Amino acid sequence: YQANQASMAPASAPATGAPAARPARFEALPAPEMEGHGRAMLKAMIAAAKSDGHMDERERELVQTELGRIGADDATRQWVDDELRRPVEPADVAAAATSPEQAAELYLASLLVVDETTTMERAYLDELARQLQLAPALRADLERRAAAV
């Protein structure tokens, strides 16, 4: 997100003298924000994995890896089970984004989970990008980066 924003900044923009505020790294977030961020990422990954109507083994493994990364407790694992039973709604995923940076992260996480081989997955990603209000240039950059992984 930041690299895209830097490339979009006009060269003639006046300097304010103050450094631009940078979002906190995940590890530096207070515990409640860290939990919210982790749940937003899991919500995005689960919805993307289910966007074609099923979750394959690779998609399940990605969700399990994220659960391990955030040190998920029993309540979080129950929440994940509940999310797995919910219908896929791009608007719900987008509503979890608390900043433009997080919106970009949620879209990128979704891109990394889906394999984009079905029209259902592509339609889901298109609607998610619309709901997240991603600029076309940012969206294209995120898709390029995901394809390079």
CA–CA dist 110, 43 (Å, integer): 9
- pLDDT at residue 5, rounded to an integer: 52
- pLDDT at residue 139, rounded to an integer: 96
Q: Between 31-50 and 100-113, two packed helices, what is the crossing angle to 10 degrees?
A: 40
Q: Which residues contact 99 (CB under 8 A, 6 or more apart)?
A: 23
Q: Which residues contact 108 (CB under 8 A, 6 or more apart)?
A: 142, 145, 146
In this prediction, what percent of the chain has a pLDDT beyond 70? 77
The most confident of the ranges 25-29, 85-89, 129-133 is 129-133
Q: Residue 25: which pLDDT band, with cuts at 50, 70 and 90?
A: low
Neighbours of 50 (CB within 10 A): 22
Lowest mean pLDDT among 47-51, 70-74, 85-89, 126-130: 70-74
